[in-house]
Chain A
Amino acid sequence: MDQLSQIPQLIVTGMTAGCIYAIVAVGFTIIYNTTGVINFAQGEFVMIGAMVAAVLMAKFSFLVAFPAAVLAGCLVGAVLAGFVLIPLKRAAVLTLIIITIGASIAMQGIAQFLWGETAIPVPPFTGIPGEGFVEDRSFHLLGAVIRAQELWVVAVTALIVIGMTLFFRYTLIGQAMRACETNPAGARLVGISVRRMVVLSFVMAAGLGALAGLTVSPVFYARVNMGTALGLKGFCAAVLGGLGNFSGGIIAGIVLGIVESLTGGLLWSDYKDAVAFVILLAILLIRPEGLLGRKADQK
Chain B
Amino acid sequence: MLRGGKALLVLGLLLLLQLTVDPNHYVSRVLLLSCFSVMLAVSLNIINGYAGQFSIGHAGFYAVGAYTGASLSHFGREWMEASLGLASFPAWLADSAVLLAAVVAGSVAAAVAGFIVGLPSLRLRGDYLAIATLGFGELIRVIFINIDRVGGARGFSIAPINSIFWIGLFTVGIVWLSRNLLNSRQGRALQALRDDETAASVLGINITSYKVMAFVLSAAMAGCAGALYAHFDGYLQPDSFNFIRSIEIIIMVVLGGLGSTTGAVIAAVVLTVLPETLREFADYRMVIYSALLVICMLVRPQGLLGTSEFSWASLRSRGKETGGGLA
> Which of A's residues lie within 8 Å of B, judged by CB?
38, 83, 86-87, 91-95, 97-99, 101-106, 108-110, 113, 228, 232, 235-236, 239, 268, 270-271, 273-274, 276-278, 280-281, 284-285, 288, 296, 298-299
Contacts and interface: CB of A to CB of B under 8 A. Distances in A.
A232 B134 contact: yes
Contacts of A299: 125-126
B138 A106 contact: no
Given A109-B287, A285-B119, A38 B131 contact: yes
Contacts of B135: 232, 236, 276-277, 280-281, 284
B244 interface: yes
B54 interface: yes
B151 interface: no
A92 B286 CA distance: 24
5 contacts: A87-B298, A106-B291, A270-B145, A271-B146, A274-B143
Interface in B278-294: 284, 286-287, 289-291, 293-294
B154 to A, nearest CB: 14
A95 B142 contact: no
Nearest to A91: B301
A105 B247 contact: yes
A169 to B, nearest CB: 25
Contacts of B131: 38, 235, 239, 280, 284
Given A38-B131, A92-B126, 11 more contacts: A83-B298, A93-B125, A93-B127, A94-B130, A97-B126, A98-B250, A101-B247, A271-B142, A277-B138, A288-B124, A299-B126
B126 A106 contact: no
Nearest to B127: A38
Contacts of B254: 98
Most buried by B among A106, A235, A299: A106
B61 interface: no
Given A109-B290, A288-B128, A299-B125, A232 B138 contact: yes
B297 A284 contact: no
B139 interface: yes
Given A101-B247, A277-B138, A277-B142, A86 B286 contact: no
B136 interface: yes
Nearest to A270: B146
**5 smallest A-B Cβ distances: which pairs?**
A109-B287, A102-B293, A105-B290, A106-B290, A102-B294
Interface of B: 54, 56, 119-120, 123-128, 130-132, 134-136, 138-139, 142-143, 145-146, 243-244, 247, 250-251, 254, 284, 286-287, 289-291, 293-294, 297-298, 301
Contacts of A271: 142-143, 146
Given A235-B131, A284-B120, A103 B290 contact: yes
A83 B126 contact: no
Nearest to A38: B127
Contact of B294 (A106, A270, A285, A298): A106
A interface majority secondary structure:
helix
A105 B132 contact: no
B61 to A, nearest CB: 15
B125 A277 contact: no
B interface majority secondary structure:
helix
A277 B136 contact: yes
B121 to A, nearest CB: 10
Contacts of A280: 131-132, 135
Contact of B297 (A95, A110, A298): A95
A95 B301 contact: yes
B258 to A, nearest CB: 9
Contacts of A268: 146
A127 B64 CA distance: 47
Contacts of B301: 87, 91-92, 95
B100 to A, nearest CB: 32
Most buried by B among A98, A108, A110: A98
Nearest to B145: A270
Contacts of B138: 232, 273, 277
Contacts of B130: 38, 94, 97
A286 B293 CA distance: 33
B139 A281 contact: yes
Contacts of B287: 105-106, 109-110, 113
B123 A109 contact: no
A105 B244 contact: yes
Contacts of A108: 286
B297 A102 contact: yes
Contacts of B56: 101
Given A38-B131, A98-B293, A99-B297, A298 B125 contact: yes
B132 A228 contact: no
Contacts of B142: 271, 273-274, 277
B291 A94 contact: no
Nearest to B131: A235
Contacts of B291: 102, 106
Contacts of B284: 109
A205 B130 CA distance: 21
Most buried by A among B243, B250, B290, B293: B290
A102 B127 contact: no
A276 B124 CA distance: 19
A227 to B, nearest CB: 11
A268 B148 CA distance: 14
Contacts of A86: 298
